Structure 1
Amino acid sequence: MSDAKRESSLSQEWTPSSWRSKPIKHNVEYKDSTKLDACLNKIKALPSLVSVKEIDELRAQLAKASRGEAFLLQGGDCAESFAGCTSSAIEDKLKIILQMSLVLIWSMRVPVIRVSRLAGQYAKPRSSDTEIVNGKEILTFRGEIINGLAENEREPDPNRLVEAYFHSSASLNYIRTLLSNSFADLKFPHNWDLDWVKSEQVRQEYKDIINKLADSFDFMRTIGAGNQEQSTNSINFYTSHEGLLLNYEEALTRKSNEKKSEKKISDSSIRNNLSFSSQVNLSKVATLPTDNYYNTSAHFLWIGDRTRQLDGAHIEYFRGIRNPIGIKVGPSMESDELIRILDILDPDYEDGRITLISRYGANKIHDILPGHIKAVKSTLHNVVWCCDPCHGNTQSTESGIKTRSIGDITSEIISSIQIHNMLNSKLNGVHLELTGEHVTECIGGSQDLGPVDLTQNYQSFCDPRLNYLQSLDIAFKISKQYGNQTI
């Protein structure tokens, strides 16, 4: 699409359904449109899953992260399953994210924003519409909000949209129950499971950090500083997922009663301060509704690396919602394209409005990240820089099992920290695919898993996840990296 046509398309009025007039990638074709409409109308009539107040609270916290005053920890399943909506599975996910966050707080001395890939991460994009299973070509499994894993469940079923809503609702309800009933009191240090650590030296190192954390909490409790009981037993915890199915997201988009009140920066002021010349005429992008629209399916949503087309449906939908937005940024993202996306999604230059979730791979980050940082620094956009070290480091074993190496994951995180520091920038967060369970899907770490160990407890039907101990490994590695630094 030419620049003139793109500007014209952006200048049209935004509505929750205006994305329907745009080309869309990874769309789902349902055979029964009548049933689809009935399911979407049912979801529209159901209550919001998250509140506007919670979304605004997260916006404020991410604004702090963009200024280096907080750190974003985002993690969870590559793709949730309906069967995974159990009390024990949810408890395990919350526990590992809480424990990781405390390790990061202890080393960084800044608040950690906890965002889970939970209560809605039921869809996944796929590179092909079909796959070969047992010698037959069938539709690809695309997540349980769309179809089933069994061969006879591959036809997209609209009823799964409603089922996903209720599983998300159940997960959120249990999360709130846990956090209101002292689940965040982690009972130092015996609630930290380090029995799986093979190296006695590493185990002792981890125990020393945990004991120092325990001493800090005991000291704060003793002197009554900072209302310690409230701060550890009642914490903020947010949910997120990829906003892939726009008909589902539209059905959960709600208008707030509050009118927008944004301070705009003049176009001439922008041009005087930018070294990069944006290809989008910003005066023509200011066509958003005067009302605030929120996506109430989750607090935070992101656009995948495969659905970020400038003239596409996903960019069109996301530009009108008030939720904080993530954008997956991979090796295929050109710097000028990145600036154009930021101009469209963040026309008012709000701190932390956009989180750039970089996913390059340990062997590519040095070639690509510096250019992206320089491009963003040449604008007035103040983003949250978040490193996703998992997606760019996926590999397969000789036997064909998909896995990831802790060494590669750690390398990309450390490289990201160092590159940001060299360019007078800051890494503001990490985005990890993890579970609190003792699965065997990634190799390496203090558990010293190798390729031969993967079959012991490989449970993921999508991408490999860090297990409980490997997730702690990452937190402790980041903690050591930041030991004597500020973020």
Structure 2
Amino acid sequence: MFDRLFDRLEAALAKPAAQQPIWGDPEQARDAVALLSRAEPIVTPAETARLRSRLAAVARGEAFLLQGGDCAETFAANTEAHVRANLWTLVDMAAVLARRTGLPVVKVARMAGQYAKPRSQAVDALGLPVYRGDMVNSIEPTLAARTPDPYRMLRAHADAARAMALVRSFGNGNGNGNGNGEGDGDNDLYVSHEALLLDYEQSLLRVDTSGPEPRLASGLGHFLWIGERTRQLDGAHIAFAELLSNPIGLKIGPGTSPETAAAYVRRLDPHREPGRLTLVSRMGHGQVRDVLPPIVEKVTASGHQVIWQCDPMHGNTYTSANGYKTRNLRHITDEIAGFFEVHRRLGTHPGGIHIEVTGDDVTECLGGAAGTTEADLPARYHTACDPRLNAEQSMELAFSVPEMAAADITDFEAALR
């Protein structure tokens, strides 16, 4: 039985895989994967099982999912100060959401593994290999630094383990656990990353027999998601995600048809487990009200209890007049408003938001009470990839979300009664 499971894994990894680095020495890549396979897991099975249970509550409309953190983690920024600042931002946002909605909030950080990034071009404006995240190469603009190095996966694992230790110690210091992977429920913190680099993702898999069929549990993160650029139905990433017992997220953009969305759901949630699959819409504020409804209707009609989550960041990215990739808080808020409007109209539960935020005092996104403008962007633009909301902008967003959600929550609680 287990041999067949690993045969399926081998077949999945043999499928076409988008956004993978080209290692200069395949033997080094195999060696790096072998070393990783002997490393300690980042997360425990008990933690992941607890998250599965809490996400089932989100899918039933009994909780709200808040997922956020850096666009791309970096080795240099993996400091206690930075990790704690990001965690405080997430916890503070969750406290506002819980207090103002009356729903428990499941907190999932983009942390302890978010070291690889998909890119739209293979080379940058200088003709160098594009930066694909610290797991693959360096952001420094030299050929040597940009050459993919498989041994950077080992550094990524080590840094992820250190970040996860900080997550646990942060939880202990705030009444969230006992240090043994056992928390008290509402206050637990979980970690997530995009399952992008398959050489890394295949390295720490263990057989999990606790579900409806034997599956593979990743020890690299509690929650893994498949991105917009790697969600090909005939590709390796979807085939890989099918085999996992971890909760799975899937980013869907405005090019996703209702039929394709339903096909993803059939593939990734074959046993109709509430909360097993999170569909993360990233439509852009100008399209969410038109594109999302038929997708929600099609998936809802299938009978699967997925989590509907809004990523209001990626569909609202643009280049400023002074050359910085940025986002406007007004557009971000409007996409979330549209997301709630769609679910209110259809009578479905808007389960959460997925945002790129930091506790650092950056100037990467426009708007907010401080009135950040394009002229302010160069002052503290520190992201390694996409722009993040700073702590002040994040809290503004947290206070506005319950206002947009209030009607939906009232209607849902009335339905329960």
TM-score (normalizing by structure 2): 0.92
Letter in 2 for 1:320: L
> Partners of 1:424 and 1:397 in 2: how far apart?
38
Q: Which residue in the other structure is 2:84 paired with?
A: 91
Aligned match for 2:147, one of 155, 177, 180: 155
Letter in 2 for 1:98: V
Q: Which residue in the other structure is 1:412 paired with?
A: 335
Q: Which residue in the other structure is 2:158 paired with?
A: 166
Letter in 1 for 2:129: L
Aligned match for 1:131, one of 120, 124, 127: 124
> Partners of 2:277 and 2:136 in 1: how far apart?
28
Aligned match for 2:171, one of 176, 179, 182: 179
| Structure 1 residue matching 2:232: 3-state secondary structure | coil
Q: Which residue in the other structure is 2:415 paired with?
A: none
Matches within 5 A, 1:15-34: 15-34=8-27
Letter in 2 for 1:146: V
Q: Which residue in the other structure is 2:264 paired with?
A: 341
Q: Which residue in the other structure is 2:112 paired with?
A: 119
> Partners of 2:206 and 2:11 in 1: how far apart?
15
My pick for the range that moved more, 404-413 or 32-41, is 32-41
Compute the displacement of 1:419 (Å).
1.1
| Structure 2 residue matching 1:59: 3-state secondary structure | helix
Compute the displacement of 1:313 (Å).
0.3
Compute the displacement of 1:380 (Å).
1.5
Q: Is the 8 A contact 2:66 2:105 kept in 1?
A: yes
> Partners of 1:33 and 1:124 in 2: how far apart?
21
1:248 aligns with 2:197: no
Q: Is the 8 A contact 2:322 2:374 kept in 1?
A: no
Compute the displacement of 1:252 (Å).
1.4
1:393 aligns with 2:316: yes
Tell me how many residue pairs correspond in the alignment.
Answer: 400
Q: Which residue in the other structure is 1:456 paired with?
A: 379
Q: Is the 8 A contact 1:324 1:353 kept in 2?
A: yes
> Partners of 1:319 and 1:177 in 2: how far apart?
32
Compute the displacement of 1:365 (Å).
0.8
| Structure 1 residue matching 2:167: 3-state secondary structure | helix
Aligned match for 1:358, one of 262, 276, 281: 281
Q: Is the 8 A contact 1:14 1:320 kept in 2?
A: no
Q: Is the 8 A contact 1:108 1:485 kept in 2?
A: no
> Partners of 1:184 and 1:67 in 2: how far apart?
24
Letter in 2 for 1:144: D
Compute the displacement of 1:485 (Å).
5.4
Matches within 5 A, 1:51-450: 51-133=44-126, 137-150=127-140, 151=142, 152-182=144-174, 235-256=187-208, 259-262=209-212, 290-450=213-373
Relative to structure 1, is the Cα distance of residues 19 and 324 closer, same or farther in structure 2, using a 3 angstrom cutoff?
A: same
Compute the displacement of 1:484 (Å).
6.2
Compute the displacement of 1:405 (Å).
0.4
Letter in 1 for 2:231: R
| Structure 2 residue matching 1:461: 3-state secondary structure | coil
Q: Is the 8 A contact 1:98 1:184 kept in 2?
A: no
> Partners of 1:423 and 1:315 in 2: how far apart?
28
Compute the displacement of 1:12 (Å).
9.4
Compute the displacement of 1:387 (Å).
0.4
Q: Is the 8 A contact 1:118 1:240 kept in 2?
A: yes
> Partners of 1:332 and 1:95 in 2: how far apart?
35
Could you tell me which runs of 5 or more consecutive residues in structure 1 were left unpaired when the two chains were aligned: 1-10, 186-229, 263-289
> Partners of 1:483 and 1:25 in 2: how far apart?
40
Compute the displacement of 1:14 (Å).
5.4
Q: Is the 8 A contact 1:16 1:253 kept in 2?
A: no
Relative to structure 1, is the Cα distance of residues 298 and 13 closer, same or farther in structure 2, using a 3 angstrom cutoff?
A: closer
Letter in 1 for 2:322: S
Letter in 2 for 1:43: L
> Partners of 1:184 and 1:55 in 2: how far apart?
15
TM-score (normalizing by structure 1): 0.79
Letter in 2 for 1:149: I
> Partners of 1:482 and 1:61 in 2: how far apart?
20
Q: Is the 8 A contact 2:33 2:200 kept in 1?
A: yes
Aligned match for 1:50, one of 43, 47, 59: 43
Q: Is the 8 A contact 2:112 2:164 kept in 1?
A: yes
Letter in 1 for 2:150: P
Could you tell me which runs of 5 or more consecutive residues in structure 2 were left unpaired when the two chains were aligned: 178-182, 413-417
Letter in 2 for 1:447: A
Q: Percent identity?
A: 37
Compute the displacement of 1:174 (Å).
1.4
Residues 61-97 of structure 1: per-residue CA shift (max 9 Å, x gap): 1111011000000001111100111010011011000
Relative to structure 1, is the Cα distance of residues 379 and 451 closer, same or farther in structure 2, using a 3 angstrom cutoff?
A: same
> Partners of 1:401 and 1:448 in 2: how far apart?
17
Over the aligned positions, Cα root-mean-square deviation in angstroms equals 1.9
> Partners of 2:299 and 2:393 in 1: how far apart?
32
Q: Which residue in the other structure is 2:390 paired with?
A: 467
Q: Is the 8 A contact 1:395 1:402 kept in 2?
A: yes
Q: Which residue in the other structure is 1:189 paired with?
A: none
Q: Is the 8 A contact 1:107 1:482 kept in 2?
A: no
Q: Is the 8 A contact 2:176 2:188 kept in 1?
A: no
| Structure 2 residue matching 1:17: 3-state secondary structure | helix
